[in-house]
Amino acid sequence: MKKGAVWLATATVAASLVVAGCGDDENSTSGGGGSSTADSGGDVGKVAVLLPDSKSSVRWETYDRPLLKAAFQDAGVEAEIQNAEGDKATQQQQAEQAITNGAKVILLVNLDSGSGAAIAANAKSQGVKVIDYDRLTLDTDANDYYVSFDNEKVGQLQGQGLVDCIGDKADAQIAVLNGSPTDNNATLFKNGYDSVINPKFDAGEWTEVDDQSVPDWDNQKALTIFEQMLQKADNKVDGVLAANDGLGNAAISALKQRKLPQIPVTGQDATLEGLQNIVNGDQCMTVYKAIEKEANAAAELAIALAKGKEPTVETVPIDNGTHEVPSVLETPVSVTKDNISEYFGNPDFPTKEDICAGEVAAKCDELGL
């Protein structure tokens, strides 16, 4: 399903700044495009935000869209936000149309590096700046900036989380569910957690039952893959390194379907589902990446470029295989049942009321949340 575009108005009232969910933003449109503002001294270009999907993680529509929308509105910069719903051809068409519509900056979450590089190359040929958002596009010189988290650190937190949850259990049987093989972030996550768990395998302290990647971060495919892992291991699995909360929940679902006991399962993204799994004891940890910080950093870069200014954001160089991309990397943190309450109230973290709703309420009471 192709998401409808929306040009974010410069004079929208504050009540419309945050709109969660997957729906179109057409109702928020007002005013014209590309007008000058007092602090820019000239015409302000438009920004196109290209999100990847709404299935691999709820973050894109629940957090990234409204946070980016609010940041651009506050700055008086028009921004078109679209979601490709996992279709590379759709994302390329969205990019081309956005440029036709006057976008001077593209904030891109690529579906893979190949299609992302094609979008970036076309943008560069037309004088449009490209900011890789969350996922670095490899092997292209057409990306101008990259904003994400320290993704190897994310993986290290997952690996250490599993180590802590497994404890001193001898010869633990471990299954590994990696993210999409076409997502560079998934590679970085794996580099991080492999650096922690591979020494356990090498030392004979743990046994690796299986290690597979999940195409497109597809949770249904993850369920099938993990069911096959369980069958291969005769249901003897003591822990799961799952690369995000969706994959972790797929593993948890398979365990429950077979009426197997709870075992440590990792995750990432601090989704509502993942946090409820932690409270219920089905998942031992997740990684919280403060999306507000990532979104605001990306918006700050995009706003400066849209206004024809040189960004003043502090960056570090990241090699994408072709050139060193000026990059902003935010810091992730590990979340367990012991520290989950520290993040209540953060705008990109599920509320206590949502986490502790329904059948989870009793578990929240047990944990003193």
4-8, 43-47, 120-124, range with greatest mean pLDDT: 120-124
The per-residue pLDDT for 42 is 55
In a domain, 134, yes or no: yes
Q: How confident is the model at residue 14 (pLDDT cuts 50, 70, 90)?
A: very low
DSSP 236: -
Same-domain status, 319 and 357: no
In a domain, 7, yes or no: no
In a domain, 6, yes or no: no
pLDDT, one tens digit per residue, over 170-224 is 999 999 999 999 999 999 999 999 999 999 999 999 999 999 999 999 999 999 9
The per-residue pLDDT for 58 is 85
Amino acid (1-letter code) at residue 34: G
Same-domain status, 345 and 207: yes
In a domain, 280, yes or no: yes
Distance CA 258, CA 151 (A): 33
Same-domain status, 107 and 129: yes
Same-domain status, 197 and 246: yes
The per-residue pLDDT for 10 is 32
Distance CA 318, CA 316 (A): 7
pLDDT over 90 (residue 255): yes
Q: Which residues contact 219 (CB under 8 A, 6 or more apart)?
A: 55, 56, 246, 247, 249, 250
Among 2-16, 90-104, 133-147, the range scoring the smallest mean pLDDT is: 2-16
Percentage of the chain exceeding pLDDT 90: 86
Q: How far apart are the first and last CA of the chain?
A: 39
In a domain, 76, yes or no: yes
Extended strands (E) in the chain: 46-51, 79-83, 103-108, 129-133, 145-149, 172-178, 206-213, 239-242, 286-288, 316-319, 324-330, 333-335
Nearest to 303 by CA among 37, 18, 118, 31: 37
Angle between helix 291-306 and 65-75 (nearest 10): 40
Tokens of 320: 């994408």
Same-domain status, 75 and 122: yes
The per-residue pLDDT for 57 is 84
Among 6-20, 210-224, 272-286, the range scoring the smallest mean pLDDT is: 6-20
Same-domain status, 201 and 279: yes
pLDDT, one tens digit per residue, over 52-98 is 999 888 899 999 999 999 999 999 999 999 999 999 999 999 999 99
- Global pTM reads 0.82
The per-residue pLDDT for 9 is 33
Same-domain status, 77 and 88: yes
Distance CA 336, CA 172 (A): 21
pLDDT over 50 (residue 243): yes
CB 241 within 8 Å of CB 175: yes
pLDDT over 50 (residue 17): no
Same-domain status, 40 and 181: no
In a domain, 88, yes or no: yes
Beta bridge partners of 329: 148
The per-residue pLDDT for 56 is 83
In a domain, 9, yes or no: no
Q: What CATH code is carried by the domain that includes residue 30?
A: 3.40.50.2300
| Mean predicted confidence (pLDDT) in 93-112 | 97
The per-residue pLDDT for 43 is 80
Q: How wide is the angle at C-alpha 264 spanned by C-alphas 259 and 266, nearest 5°?
A: 120
Which strands make up the sheet holding 239-242, listed edge to edge? 206-213, 172-178, 239-242
Query: Mean pLDDT for the chain?
Result: 90
The domain of 19 spans: 14-143+290-329
Nearest to 88 by CA among 66, 65, 62, 119: 119
Same-domain status, 312 and 351: no
Percentage of the chain exceeding pLDDT 70: 89
In a domain, 122, yes or no: yes
Same-domain status, 267 and 344: yes
Domains contained in the chain, number: 2
Q: Which residues contact 51 (CB under 8 A, 6 or more apart)?
A: 3, 60, 61, 64, 65, 81, 82, 83, 84, 109
Same-domain status, 135 and 233: no
Same-domain status, 157 and 258: yes
Q: Which residues contact 184 (CB under 8 A, 6 or more apart)?
A: 113, 135, 136, 137, 138
pLDDT over 90 (residue 115): yes
